[in-house]
Amino acid sequence: MQLRVPGPTPCPPQALEAMGRQMINHRGEEFGKILNSTTEKLKQIFQTKGDVFLLTASGTGGMEAAIVNTLSPGDKVLSISNGAFGERFADIAQGYGAEVIRLNFEWGKAVDLDAVEKVLRKHDSIKDGDIKAVLATHNETSTGMTNKLGDISAVVKKFDKLLLVDAISSLGCINLPTDDWHCDIVVTGSQKGWMVPPGLAMVSVSEKAWQAHAQAKMPRYYWDFSKAKDFLQKGQTPWTPAISIFYALNTTLDLMLNEGLDNIFARHGRIAQIARNGVKSLGFSLFPEEDYASDTVTAVNATDKIDVPKLIQVLREEHDVVIAGGQRKLAGKIFRIGHLGSVEDDDIKSVLEALNKALPRAKKG
Amino acid sequence: MQLRVPGPTPCPPQALEAMGRQMINHRGEEFGKILNSTTEKLKQIFQTKGDVFLLTASGTGGMEAAIVNTLSPGDKVLSISNGAFGERFADIAQGYGAEVIRLNFEWGKAVDLDAVEKVLRKHDSIKDGDIKAVLATHNETSTGMTNKLGDISAVVKKFDKLLLVDAISSLGCINLPTDDWHCDIVVTGSQKGWMVPPGLAMVSVSEKAWQAHAQAKMPRYYWDFSKAKDFLQKGQTPWTPAISIFYALNTTLDLMLNEGLDNIFARHGRIAQIARNGVKSLGFSLFPEEDYASDTVTAVNATDKIDVPKLIQVLREEHDVVIAGGQRKLAGKIFRIGHLGSVEDDDIKSVLEALNKALPRAKKG
């Protein structure tokens, strides 16, 4: 079975072997070494000198942690969104009482940087209108699109705002220099580029985010970064961690660092190009603007003639390939091929071959 | 290495093998079957006809979920506490803005039911003094003590209050008939009696808890039970779940149901008695009142002559046995032997033998 959804991603044998290791005391030295080692390696891939914490949760838990650790109810927050996960980030902030200004762009369309700047400038000029933080999505998994985060950051930082980034499906696959791009919190999840099962969210915290944290009044306990920092100093997590996933991640981080960041980014770029060329040669078009097409997930317009659920079923049942459909308003309209983490050229070529064979069986009517 | 802390507990080979299984699509049929099967088996062990949800988090996350799903800021909450985890439950509620009335009993001492009744009666008689919910700990891991939850519930339910229960280190080991004892929310964690790695919290939700949920205004997103219920109806979780732990838990739940609840409870009772007799025969006394000594963890007064960190070190380094020290104000004063989940008579006998051998090396001064 070839799993090609945009997460969970296939785990290499080393990761699966590590998952099967027996439990240890999470308050003992052995776990402390694993936690410290994992954290240090993550910092290299996050490209940050700031803090990085591992939370036992899915990526959405990491997004919630980013919000509640830096904001207070009533804070004005600018949400820049062009997909389902951008909307989720805004929903979380709103749920915790932030006043969310939603700058929504059409799903699959580029963020208009001038529009972002306009909103920030306008609010800076209003008395008490000040925006505290900006929420941005690096890779929008729902639309197969990578936002130009460096450019977004340049605008946000002109106004010296806190920048909270959902990089769940990009970090470790697509270049995201956390410190160089002045990202204050970056969130990712273990089941994406990291090649291990779901269950850990990883978050980086900048100095500016710590300053916001000191003022932030949203209620928090499980997600609290202060507790995470205190415990990390003694080689522990505040709450019992998902030990098995730490075992696995400590192993795949070695694989990643051995491959080298530039090589990882190049591999994802090359494979994504094969995916894009492949679907186009089968007569499909890409869902997102092509300049923004993601290197981790390819979202494809299904055309009127293709029954997406049927296509997914035929691929799974007859070709042992698992891909994803569209989410929410894109259900039935697009299909998505994940190519992140443990993936090689031949993997995606075999997906394209299977797709070619499955298509005649997935015609509508 | 024999791991005898009160969680994480050793995983049987079937669980570890399951942990090493490759990833699948968490939005596909196969995972749906695992989720439904796991949920149904859990209901049998929770002894409930209510809902049971699995959250990707540690047990503390489950406690936070219990609070934020049923309460509003300003709600009066009675915390009944006689240990570190009772205090944690109260801290979470307070952190989210509940007005917490802390009925603290000495660590290791029984809950005074009359005192509980008195507080509930007094507040019921005050205008707007009404207590909304009671927080109780079934098994207090920090003191090796099992509170008589059935009796506590009888008092709480006389006043028709919501009863939220931390049963993290008891459920599946010690009898807790959720419905018969009218527990509105019961929380447990995968790394305890369930014999799988940490990373999942399991929570039951009663009809009365749902009614409270409909009114509850504490902010929540990741923990939201409504989302969990909606997604469960289509065989999914709202956020990407810790798939590997589901694989393992689905396996150990079969082991548990095959053994039978009564046999599991009897085994824990028998082994705990061996542990208690054993430490007493070595000249130690139990930390908690003996009538309340837990069947999942034995907490032992260290006596003035024993250096607890040294004892733990000698046991680990020279006898391959890992036990736990005391937490917070009990650090250095007690040691704790976990005997829950995957444990047989011989396991605890070998711990006692190791303890006997290690003691001379752990004398103070």
Under an 8 A CB cutoff, do B23 and A3 touch? yes
Specify the pLDDT at position B303: 86
How many angstroms separate the CA of residue A320 from the nearest CA in chain B? 12
Specify the pLDDT at position B365: 74
Residue of B nearest to A62 (CA): B222
Specify the pLDDT at position A157: 97
Q: How many CB pairs under 8 A join A and B?
A: 173
Q: Identify the CA nearest to A199 among candidates B147, B244, B202.
A: B244
Specify the pLDDT at position B85: 98
Considering only the beta carbons, identify the residue of A11, A222, A316 that sits closest to B61.
Answer: A222
Evaluate if residue A164 carries a pLDDT over 80.
yes
DSSP letter string over B291-335? GGB-SSEEEEE--TTB-HHHHHHHHHHHH-EE-EE--GGGTTTEE
- Output the pTM of the full model: 0.98
Considering only the beta carbons, identify the residue of B23, B61, B191 that sits closest to A11.
Answer: B23
Please state the rounded mean pLDDT for residues A280-289.
97
Q: Judge whether A221 is closer than 8 Å to chain B, CB to CB.
A: yes
Distance in angstroms (rounded) separating the CA atoms of residues B353 and B278: 9
The 3-class SS string of chain A reads CEECCCCCCCCCHHHHHHHCCCCCCCCCHHHHHHHHHHHHHHHHHHCCCCEEEEEECCHHHHHHHHHHCCCCCCCEEEEEECCHHHHHHHHHHHHCCCEEEEEECCCCCCCCHHHHHHHHHHHHHCCCCCCCEEEEECEECCCCEECCHHHHHHHHHHCCCEEEEECCCCCCCCCCCCCCCCCCEEEEECCCCCCCCCCEEEEEECHHHHHHHHHCCCCCCCCCHHHHHHHHCCCCCCCCCCHHHHHHHHHHHHHHHHHCHHHHHHHHHHHHHHHHHHHHHCCCCECCCHHHECCCEEEEECCCCECHHHHHHHHHHHHCEECEECCHHHCCCEEEEECCCCCCHHHHHHHHHHHHHHHHHHECC
**Judged by CB atoms within 8 Å, which residues 293-332 of B form the interface with A?**
316, 322, 324
Residue of B nearest to A95 (CA): B219
Are A64 and A221 a contacting pair, CB within 8 Å? no
Distance in angstroms (rounded) separating the CA atoms of residues A16 and A26: 20
**Judged by CB atoms within 8 Å, which residues 179-218 of B form the interface with A?**
189, 191, 197-199, 218
Find where tokens 């700047």 sit: A117
Q: Judge whether A60 is closer than 8 Å to chain B, CB to CB.
A: yes
For A318, the token pair is 């007859």
The neighbouring-strand residues paired with B81 are B104
Under an 8 A CB cutoff, do A243 and B198 touch? yes
Specify the pLDDT at position A48: 98
Measured in degrees and rounded to the nearest 5, phi and psi for residue B317 equal -80, -30
Residue of A nearest to B189 (CA): A240
Residue A162 has a CB neighbour count (10 Å cut-off) of: 25
Task: Please tell me which residue, A257 or A125, carries the higher pLDDT value.
Answer: A257
Q: Judge whether B238 is closer than 8 Å to chain A, CB to CB.
A: yes
Specify the pLDDT at position B309: 96
Distance in angstroms (rounded) separating the CA atoms of residues A352 and A156: 39
Q: pLDDT tens digit string along A172-228?
A: 999 999 999 999 999 999 999 999 999 999 999 999 999 999 999 999 999 999 999
Secondary structure class of B233 (helix, strand, coil): coil
Q: pLDDT tens digit string along A294-332?
A: 999 999 999 888 999 999 999 999 999 999 999 999 999
Q: Which chain B residues are Cβ-neighbours of A92 within 8 angstroms?
A: 221
**pLDDT-based confidence at residue A124 (cuts at 50, 70, 90):** confident
Considering only the beta carbons, identify the residue of B56, B243, B316 that sits closest to A57.
Answer: B56
Evaluate if residue A364 carries a pLDDT over 90.
no
Considering only the beta carbons, identify the residue of B95, B189, B199 that sits closest to A199.
Answer: B199
> Quick one: how far is CA A301 from the chain centroid?
22
Whether cis (ω within 30° of 0) applies to the bond prior to B10 is: no
Under an 8 A CB cutoff, do B19 and A244 touch? yes
Domains and CATH numbers, chain B: 2-6+260-362 (3.90.1150.10), 13-257 (3.40.640.10)
Q: Judge whether B92 is closer than 8 Å to chain A, CB to CB.
A: yes
Evaluate if residue A127 carries a pLDDT over 80.
no
How many angstroms separate the CA of residue B154 from the nearest CA in chain A? 30
Specify the pLDDT at position A324: 97
Q: pLDDT tens digit string along A56-112?
A: 999 999 999 999 999 999 999 999 999 999 999 999 999 999 999 999 999 999 999
Under an 8 A CB cutoff, do A17 and B22 touch? no
Specify the pLDDT at position B127: 75
For A193, the token pair is 């580029």
pLDDT in tens, chain B (365 residues): 999 999 999 999 999 999 999 999 999 999 999 999 999 999 999 999 999 999 999 999 999 999 999 999 999 999 999 999 999 999 999 999 999 999 999 999 999 999 999 999 999 888 777 999 999 999 999 999 999 999 999 999 999 999 999 999 999 999 999 999 999 999 999 999 999 999 999 999 999 999 999 999 999 999 999 999 999 999 999 999 999 999 999 999 999 999 999 999 999 999 999 999 999 999 999 999 999 999 999 999 998 889 999 999 999 999 999 999 999 999 999 999 999 999 999 999 999 999 999 999 999 87
Q: Judge whether A338 is closer than 8 Å to chain B, CB to CB.
A: no
Under an 8 A CB cutoff, do B1 and A10 touch? no
Please state the rounded mean pLDDT for residues A259-288.
98
Measured in degrees and rounded to the nearest 5, phi and psi for residue A209 equal -65, -35
Under an 8 A CB cutoff, do B242 and A198 touch? yes
Task: Please tell me which residue, A43 or A305, carries the higher pLDDT value.
Answer: A43
How many angstroms separate the CA of residue B16 from the nearest CA in chain A? 5
Specify the pLDDT at position A126: 81
Specify the pLDDT at position B125: 86
Evaluate if residue A128 carries a pLDDT over 80.
no
Evaluate if residue A365 carries a pLDDT over 80.
no
